[in-house]
Amino acid sequence: MSRYALIAAMVFPNMGGWVGSVLVSRNISKFRMPKWRPPNWVFGMIWTGLYTSMGYASYLVWRDGGGKAEYPLMLYSAQLALNWVFSPLFFEMRRMGTAMIDLGVLYCAVVANAISFYQINSTAGLLMTPYIAWLTFSTPMYYIIWKTNKDEDDKIK
């Protein structure tokens, strides 16, 4: 049974990512991007790895945490929801300012999530560090995209 739980834990976060990638792919060409932004194909690889590793981390906490896993898994669910809502806000609805607030809250939630995971299973906590690293890189990138495209954002509303 635990093998199925592991697979489900690793696939589940990717499901929201797949929806988000559809929204991004049909809107990405409408945005002016910084020259140093990675190519589009890089994002799919990065997010697949991040979602899969955070899913594996959640499985480790679920497996090892017992009654102590409830709060860390609630944090995990919250940060995952914040993650999933970013792409629709930013790329589909063009609510880039709101998406940046979401991204700031997401960053804090992921750090808190990583710490709470680490307290139950150190590997699970460490598996969240690439996610934190990616958010550290991508947050300023999205801020620049927002500021570069702010005029278009204002026209849509």
Read off the pLDDT of residues 13-28 as tens digits, 9 standing for 90 and up.
999 999 999 989 999 9
Spatial CB neighbours of 133, under 8 Å, sequence gap ≥ 6 = none
pLDDT tens digits along 66-103? 999 999 999 999 999 999 999 999 999 999 999 999 99
pTM of the entire structure?
0.92
Torsion-angle region of 66 (φ positive above 0: left; ψ -120 to 50: alpha; else: beta): left
Do 92 and 23 contact (CB within 8 A), yes or no?
A: yes
Would you state the structure tokens that stand for residue 54, as one six-digit string? 């955070």
CATH 1.20.1260.100 for domain 2-26+41-156, yes or no, is yes
